[in-house]
Amino acid sequence: MKVSTDACIFGAWLSTLFKDKTFDVLDIGTGTGLLALMYLQENPESRVYALEPNAAALRDATSNFVCSAWKDNVILEQVAFQEFSKKSKQLFDLLICNPPFFQDHLKAGQADRNMARHDALLPEELADGAARLANYESLLAVMYPGTVWPAWLKAALNAGWHLRHQLDIQPAAHKAVNRVCGVFGRQRADREPLAGRLQIRDNGNNYTEQFQSLLQPYYLNL
């Protein structure tokens, strides 16, 4: 499976936000294992329970976890989140998810791409399922397209999740925000959510200093 720039930004942002936080983490739809590994790079004492329903992606994640320095910190299970959230009795400190995108677009011909990019996990299912696996102090981190973000906010609020941090991702100066990352808590905050924006490329189509600073610890050549 391919690794997107957006996912790398999300993983780096989370790892920075929760640096040196030893959490029990649930990675919902781990794919290649990218988010889990980026988190463990900054928080090597944490434990990650990674879920992945797709067999091909599961093979990629297994290989990546085994080859990493944190293979003993990860449990990987082939299961859909909807099923896991109903059967699991474990609660997690941090739940992370880069959910399927493009729910309203035409579907591709390949079944694996449909599973990764479309309606395998609806916002309501993610918000409600995460609430079942959370305690009062738990946090939920997600990334959605800007067009889906309002629907996600509604689903999250209905399930009792309150926005704490938000990062808008802008591909370039002349382009609109196309991805939004957010961290949500179970407790209602007594302040406005912390908001930020990251622009990936400048007017010369080069990576911005902000992007390079965030991703430098994870990119071999940047």
Domain spans, the chain: 5-215
Give the residue among 35, 159, 188, 12 at the shortest CA–CA distance from 99.
Answer: 35
Q: Looking at the structure, give the CATH architecture of the domain made up of residues 5-215.
A: 3-Layer(aba) Sandwich (3.40)
State how far the Cα of 117 lies from the Cα of 159, in Å rounded to an integer.
Answer: 23
Statement: the pTM of the whole predicted model exceeds 0.85: yes
Do residues 165 and 198 lie in contact, with contact meaning Cβ atoms separated by under 8 Å?
no
86-139 pLDDT, tens per residue? 999 999 999 999 986 544 443 444 434 433 443 478 999 999 999 999 999 999
Do residues 39 and 48 lie in contact, with contact meaning Cβ atoms separated by under 8 Å?
yes
- pLDDT value for 189: 78
State how far the Cα of 37 lies from the Cα of 123, in Å rounded to an integer.
Answer: 24
- pLDDT value for 179: 96
Average pLDDT, the chain: 89
